[in-house]
Amino acid sequence: MRVKIFWDQNAPRGLETAVEKRIRSILGIPLEIVESCILLSGYNRERDQYDAQKILSRIQLFKRQRGSTEPVLLVVPDDLSIRGQDFVFGLARESVGAAVVSTARLDNGYYGRAREDSDLAGRIAKEGAHEIGHLFGLEHCPDVECVMFPPRTLGELDRKKLAFCTACGKKFRLREGVDSL
């Protein structure tokens, strides 16, 4: 099954191909990147953040209206949060095949460092592949280098490799094989 990546109009430009290539190398399945026409909802002015759950509901609605069944990952530039957490890098809802990743805290600029496109593409790919992993039923992994490890900081994210550990890789191929039957 082909996974669709929706790239928000305001997400960093020029990285789409680099991100697609890296996610494909992690997952080993075909992907398609398209410009997103999904309007974001759930903006909180005080926190200057979007509610990630509301964005997932918006993707769910979009898919239902189009009768679309393929998994969707939306890449947005805006900072995201969920109830009870200051921020999230991304979020997935497996039951409806919808996931979102924010580039806000993946950019060196957020931490006062110079922008580095290959760093940014690698981080978007790790977090994107992580959320797509959830869409195929994978859970969090204790291996700090595995894509399915849940990072709380940029340092923890950078420590992850652009790959699943052996166990998660096996699980993904199994689930992906079942879903494409």
Binding residues (CB under 5 A) for Zn ion: these are 141, 143, 146, 148, 150, 165, 168
Nearest one of 55, 57, 26, 42 to 136, comparing CA atoms: 26
> Min. distance of Cβ 38 from Zn ion in angstroms?
21
Nearer to Zn ion by C-beta: 11 or 132?
Answer: 132
Q: Which of 94, 131, 139, 145 is catalytic?
A: 131
In angstroms, rounded to a whole number, what is the distance separating the alpha carbons of residues 97 and 69? 8
> Min. distance of Cβ 53 from Zn ion in angstroms?
14
> Min. distance of Cβ 145 from Zn ion in angstroms?
8
H or E element, residue 17: helix 16-27
Cα angle, residue 170 at apex, residues 177 and 173 outer, rounded to 5°:
20
CA distances from 129 to 67, 68, 87, 93, 126 (A): 24, 20, 19, 14, 5
Is 131 a residue of the active site? yes
Nearer to Zn ion by C-beta: 48 or 93?
Answer: 93
Nearer to Zn ion by C-beta: 42 or 150?
Answer: 150
Active-site residue list = 131
